[in-house]
Amino acid sequence: MNTAACASFQSSGLVLENFRFFLGLSPCESKRNALDYLPILFLNWYFKAMRMRSLFWLPLFLACLGSACTPGENPEPTVKPSVSASLPENIRFSGDIDGRLPITMKLRRVGQTLSGTYQYLRKGQDLQLQGDIRGSNIHLSEFDASGKQTGTFSGEIQNGEMIGTWKGNGRSLPFKLCLEKKTAPQGLAPTSAVEVSAPLVTKQEEIRKGNGYTAKMTYPQLSGMKNTVAQSRANLALKAIIKPLVDDFVRETEQNPPDEESAVSVYEMEISYDDIWISPQLISVQYGVYVYSGGAHGNHFSKTLTINLQTGNPVRLDELFKQGFLKPLSQLVREELRKDARLAANPNDEWFINGTAPNADNYKNVVMKSSGFLVKFDPYEIAAYAQGDFEVLIPY
């Protein structure tokens, strides 16, 4: 998407609903509670959009959040305490670089000297760390397996969080890490009881065969989550979204099997997940469904699912945005789709207009990706089958 399109999104009113609505938490429960529990992806997206929309509202919002528990009080200036002495010898942090690269970090402290490793959750390879902490200021140098320095972390530790700048490969990116609760010393506020590393994903496959049909479905299953209740709930949802499709296909084919005189002796269904995005807070999956029951060609369509890993519950589109979001979303999607050569000849076609109208049913296939928020349209939804699928990627 070009710069103009990004600006259009950022000024279109597509901002996330407030923390209290999404999480069901009161800001008076803890000044940091909502910020801690909100998925990193959502928080990063919210602030980027708000920054472009109006720099005035951000400090006002934060000021309101900070004063929610103590109305009428005037906070007194405080002196930042020295953190190094209160840190345990073995420290573990989890968080992200640039709001999109989840990492975990393990450190050992001897006095003011720090050493340890960190890894990107999607790569799983350790990078060595060496550095020190002086007061609340921390500096770490990273090295690859050959001993070559590849980057640095510079920042500050306060209230159980390490915030600063990572530099490497000619880039400078912000990072935010949270001290794991089990390693938080007395006097440092623990971050929250949330998952601190992305769960493991295993591909599960089921095949059903019968008289005149074959049905195969492949779906992800999670393991390694501390919250086993949320893990079980998420795993059920990851399968439940596609299982009814297979059940219906099998039942209908058993009732109406292929004609013995037909050139086609077996009807087929195959479901697989085309793409998956996972973080410690979210999993977002796009399933591809293919069905052939005779005729000139098979049919295919998509199913998408995003799950909050803190609860294991699916996240609906209307839980992410403020009320009235469909109209600006529809306008942006239409603007981008009209740039597609397949639609350029007739940009006001009734099929296209109806399929992109600000109606929740038109935006049921939405998935998170590493680079942005993807809106997908299947064949027949906004144009004829021959025109194929359509997608609009809205960068974070």
Read off the pLDDT of residues 142-187 as tens digits, 9 standing for 90 and up. Answer: 988 777 889 999 999 988 899 999 999 899 999 999 987 644 333 3
pLDDT tens digit sequence for 236-285: 999 999 999 999 999 999 999 988 877 788 999 999 986 788 877 788 99
Mean pLDDT value across residues 196-214: 85
The confidence score (pLDDT) of residue 172 equals: 94
Contact 191, 280 (CB under 8 A): no
Q: Residue 82 CB: number of other CB atoms within 10 A?
A: 11
pLDDT of residue 29 exceeding 60, the answer is no
Contact 315, 309 (CB under 8 A): no
Q: What is the rounded end-to-end Cα distance, in angstroms, of the chain?
A: 11
Q: Do domains 84-183 and 200-395 have the same CATH topology?
A: no
Higher pLDDT, 107 or 47: 107
Encoded tokens for 46: 């919210």
Reported as a pLDDT band with limits 50, 70 and 90, residue 4 is very low
Reported as a pLDDT band with limits 50, 70 and 90, residue 132 is confident
Reported as a pLDDT band with limits 50, 70 and 90, residue 73 is very low
In degrees rounded to 5, what are phi and psi of residue 342? -70, -20
Closest CA to 6 of 53, 74, 73: 53
Reported as a pLDDT band with limits 50, 70 and 90, residue 62 is very low
The confidence score (pLDDT) of residue 356 equals: 93
The confidence score (pLDDT) of residue 35 equals: 33
Mean pLDDT value across residues 24-34: 35
Whether the pTM exceeds 0.85: the reply is no
Homologous superfamily in CATH for domain 84-183:
Quinohemoprotein amine dehydrogenase alpha subunit, domain 2 (2.40.128.120)
The confidence score (pLDDT) of residue 197 equals: 55
CA dihedral 340, 346, 348, 354 (to 10 degrees): -70
The confidence score (pLDDT) of residue 28 equals: 35
> What residue segments make up the domains of the chain, in order of their start?
3-66, 84-183, 200-395
State the chain's mean pLDDT as an integer. 76
Please give the single-letter amino acid code of residue 144. D
* Domain 200-395 class in CATH: alpha beta
pLDDT of residue 60 exceeding 60, the answer is no
CA distances from 360 to 136, 187, 317, 364 (A): 48, 47, 9, 7
The confidence score (pLDDT) of residue 265 equals: 85
Reported as a pLDDT band with limits 50, 70 and 90, residue 288 is very high
- 28-63: buried (b, 16+ CB within 10 Å) or exposed (e) per residue? eebbbbbbbbbbbbbbbbbebbbeebeeeeeeeeee
pLDDT tens digit sequence for 343-390: 888 888 899 999 999 999 999 999 887 677 899 999 999 998 888 899
The confidence score (pLDDT) of residue 236 equals: 96
pLDDT tens digit sequence for 290-307: 999 887 778 899 999 999
The confidence score (pLDDT) of residue 56 equals: 42
Contact 157, 184 (CB under 8 A): no
Mean pLDDT value across residues 31-54: 39
The confidence score (pLDDT) of residue 83 equals: 61
Q: What is the rounded distance in angstroms from the CA atom of residue 32 to the CA atom of residue 17?
A: 17
Mean pLDDT value across residues 88-92: 78
